[in-house]
Structure 1
Amino acid sequence: MPPSNPRLLALFENVQSQFPTATLGEEKWFLVVLSALTGIGKPNLAADLYLYLTQLPQYSTSGARQILIRRLREVLVKSVSIIGVCRPLEAIFCIDAVTKEEDKEFSYSRQDWKCDEANHQRGTNWLMKLYGENLKPIDETFDSHRDFGWISREITYGLYLSDHHILDGVETELVVLSGIMVQDLPKMTAWHLRACRRIGISMEDCEGIQKCIELVVDFADVKLSPMPRAKDIEHEV
């Protein structure tokens, strides 16, 4: 069923129409919406997003809805590393409450995870792809705050963000950028705009993604600090 709130319905339709689907592909716009709504403090609206999506023709079968659930859940799992556990947990509870029994999805994506050398290397490799030479000063800060260095490599990137079995690298960065920007974090927003460019998202598409995030921000009546734009970090790419 469509959301009963006309502003929420307009939000979904506007993001869907404005998202750079032609270049980034179908079924990615709602990753931005879910991450942004959850990060900005509206996790209960995850249920409305899910119900809206299930009315679309591509999710007309139970099998398709189970794949959808897996992708939405992965957005929220990755969001734990960006915004903490409570809001993503609230969002998944809200989605589960409106999911039909035949559409429930029982897979477990990280049952074989180990905090081992392979995890460390996978996290480090993805960090290097996104940050490159910009990682060095961050690591130097971590030299005197080693707990955060360990969390970054082994957990944030090793466990969460370098796992691309369900959401690929571009999709993961859509989740990360959205979740960071709505928390009013200009410096880290700039880092992940730069990361988006480094993994192949065009400057024009980065701007389009930011405008979609801003639609969620406007819907939530939240005021953010001035945010960097893709053109501002282009010289670092």
Structure 2
Amino acid sequence: MASIDESFGNCQDLVLLTFPINYGLILSNCKVIDLSETELVILAALALQNRRPETLWHLRGSRRAGSSDKAIESVRIVYLDIPRCLSKPTYKAPTLQEVSETSDGK
């Protein structure tokens, strides 16, 4: 299985943007939003892109960060409504019931 870095292929500039900038400087700044809020923001952004594996990881991460299933499902309902209003696909969006500690849901 390829590493996350390798999956970017020729777009290595996205590696810089994604990890040290987005995750490092913005999303890890707990003075702005805490870990559970960060996970919900990431979750919504990934789901809007119809990214199944990454969405599953962050559904799991949201639980681990302390968000309740009710809060996660509330965010999920909203992030599924947005692409539907724009006639964008959501068929890869996993449910909370598909999340487990031992599988990435592929």
TM-score by length of 1: 0.35
Distance 1:141 1:182 in 2: 23
Is there any run of 5+ residues in structure 2 with no aligned partner, and where? none
How far, CA to CA, are the matches of 1:189 and 1:203 in structure 2?
15
Q: 1-side partners of 2:55 and 2:37: how far apart? A: 16
Which residue number in structure 1 is paired with residue 84 of structure 2?
A: 218
Aligned position for 1:154: 20
Indicate the structure (1 or 2) with the bigger Cα radius of gyration.
1
Do structure 1's residue 163 and structure 2's residue 29 form an aligned pair? yes
Counterpart in the other structure of 1:208 = 74
**Cα distance, 1:218 vs. partner?**
2.1
Q: Label 1:226 to 1:210 Cα distance change in 2 as closer, same or farther (>3 A).
A: same
Separation of aligned partners in 2, 1:224 and 1:188: 14
Query: 1:182, 1:213 within 8 Å by CA — same for their partners in 2?
Result: yes
3-state DSSP class of the match of 2:78?
Answer: helix
Partners of 2:33 and 2:78 in 1: CA distance: 19
Contact 1:194 1:236 in 2 (8 A): no
2:93 pairs with 1:195: no
CA distance in 1: counterparts of 2:6 and 2:92, whole angstroms: 30
**Greater share of helix:** 1
Residue 93 of structure 2 is aligned to residue 231 of structure 1: no
Number of residue pairs matched?
Answer: 97
> Please, which runs of 5 or more residues in structure 1 have no aligned partner?
1-136
RMSD: 2.7
TM-score norm. by structure 2 comes to: 0.71
Preserved CA contact (<8 Å) 2:40 2:72: no
Q: Is 2:7 the counterpart of 1:141? A: no
Provide the C-alpha distance between the structure 1 equivalents of 2:92 and 2:24, rounded to a whole number of angstroms: 31
